[in-house]
Structures are given as C-alpha cells and as structure tokens.
Copies of this chain bind each other. A is one copy, B any other.
Amino acid sequence: MKALFFDGKPDLKELPEPVPERGEALIKVLLAGICNTDIEIVKGYMGFKGVMGHEFVGEVVDAEDTSWLGKRVVGEINIACGSCSLCKAGLQRHCPERTVLGILSKEGAFAEYLTLPLSNLHLVPENIPDEKAVFTEPLAAALQILEQIQVGPDDRVAVIGDGKLGLLIALVMHLHTGNLVVVGKHPEKLSILQASGITCLSVSEASERFSSSADKPEVVVEATGNPEGLRLALEWARPCGTVVLKSTFAEKPRVDLSPVVIKEITLVGSRCGPFPKALDILAEGKIDPRPLITSEYPLAQAEAALDEAMKKDSLKVVLRC
C-alpha cells in the first residue's frame, strides 16, 4: 500500500498492509487530515519514525467482531495499556505506556490502511459526510476545553490564533457564549468565523479592547503555538481568570510567568478530547467545519499536500486515501 513514511523527512513509500493485532481492526482510510502536530513531527517533534497522520475517517475491512465490517469509523489516537493506575482511574489518554497513532510508536493514517483497537473506534452517523467526519479528532480536542473549564453564556472569552485549531475552538466557544472575540492575523481565515457572526479583531485592536480591566476576558485560549501568544493571553486575561494552553511549543520559550502569580491566573493545559461529543455536534449540524478545508490531495501526492499545509495561508489540507 501507499503510505507517507517519516524518517528524518517525509517519504511516500510502498509498504506492506498492516496486520491487525488481537483486538484491533483493519481500517481502509477514506480521508485523512493534516494537523499542525504533523508539521511539528516533520521538524523533529517526538522523534517519531513511521507512517504519519492521526486525523482520519475510514471503513472497517477486517475485525474479529464481524459486526464492525463495512462500518464507517473515526478512531481515538491514544492506545492505552488498560491496566496501569492511570488507565484504571479513567485517564487512558495519559497512560504512560500508550502509543499514539502517527505520533508515538504507532503507524498512522496517511496510508491506504491502518490498524486500531476496536475500543478506540467510534461509528460515524450516516448523515455526517467524510469531509465533516475527518474533523472529529481536532473538534474533540477543541471540545476538551469545556471538559476542563466552565464557560457561561455571559462569560467574556478570547481565542488567540486563527489557525485550524483556533477556528474550531472559536466555533465551539461560539456555541456557549455570546461574548466571544477571536484574535488573528489572517483576514481570509477570520472571514470564516465572521460568516458565523463571530467578532474578530487584529492584535492591536484586541490590545486596545482589553486594556481596561472592566473588559478583560475571563477566559483566554492560546492557540497560536508561539510564546508571544501566551504573553498576550497572560496580559489580556482578567485577574483570577483562566488561560487555556492548547498548543505545544517546539522549543522552550522564555516566558515571563510573573503575571500568572500576580494576577492569580489559572493556566490550563488541554490536549485530546471526547469523540462522542464531537460526533454529536457534527451529526446535529451545530458546527460545519468544511469551510476550513483549503485543499484536497490524493494520497499519491501526500508530500505536496504536506508542503501545502505548511503554507501560512493554508488551513486544513486533506488527503483522499
């Protein structure tokens, strides 16, 4: 099968089809999405070697439990041991023995086929087309914020960053508060949000808006992936407010953490989230992420797709597998 393999650089290869281990299904990938984490992996993040990719929608083509055959599925990316103290405490996504699809010791989704444990799979309702379903994983990551903090209808929320994840977070937050502001640098990306009636500001506009303490947001979500975004988040957040840290930084940033203490800010790290809730939102049509797809490539052109995804004006690039 064709697969985009990473070993220092991304390389489209012919590889043998993966063989499901006990409890695993073999899945024919239909559509896969390129995430910023994939781009970080190309830069050396996690020291990953193997088939890249973790966002996908596919069809089960082999499984011990034959009721899964032919079913359209999405899959949780963390594969836990199931027996350690964290797994037993319900923290499977934090299992220290875990592998992670296309990120840590597990062959990924930029391929014709992948394998995952049946326990990681979720059926995709029929009314969700592949182009929406492929967003389940990042939408779940956006929804994770609401598993960690409460956002009420009058809460002032700011999202910093207009990348793929920032936009999904904004769409999610817009469902929960009428006081959302999104701060970004790319008018064409922000226009997707403005079409949903979301207020979008430039950094200088936001700095002015948030200069008075009466207007500072209770919640700021940092989704830029750079230290300047974190600095702004700490500056803009209301005293005793919450800053959600959604993106990892490739290198150790030099950050002035004094505002965290002086303003008594709660900084919440947030990663993967609940697939069932993401599927519900997609099935109910509350969020349509398809405007975020800026281009589609066949798997055979995966290297070009990765180059495209790295461009500043790209949002979601998908691979037809």
Contacts and interface: CB of A to CB of B under 8 A. Distances in A.
Contact of A94 (B245, B256, B263): B263
A202 interface: no
A312 interface: no
Given A253-B255, A262-B248, A96 B267 contact: no
A70 to B, nearest CB: 35
B267 A248 contact: no
B248 A258 contact: yes
A269 interface: yes
A85 B269 contact: no
How many identical chains are in the complex? 2
Given A148-B264, A261-B245, A262-B269, A214 B85 contact: yes
A260 interface: yes
Interface residues of A, number: 38
Interface in A250-293: 252-271
Contacts of A254: 252-254
A119 interface: no
A239 B258 CA distance: 24
Contacts of A261: 245-248, 269-271
Contacts of A269: 257, 259-267
B267 A260 contact: yes
A240 interface: yes
Contacts of A265: 269
Contacts of A84: 213-214
Given A246-B261, A261-B271, 13 more contacts: A86-B213, A91-B240, A94-B263, A230-B257, A248-B257, A252-B255, A255-B257, A261-B269, A264-B270, A266-B268, A266-B269, A267-B268, A267-B269
Contacts of A268: 264, 266-267
Interface in A63-99: 84-86, 91, 94, 96
Contacts of A264: 94, 148, 268-271
Interface in A186-244: 213-214, 230, 238-240
Contacts of A258: 248-249
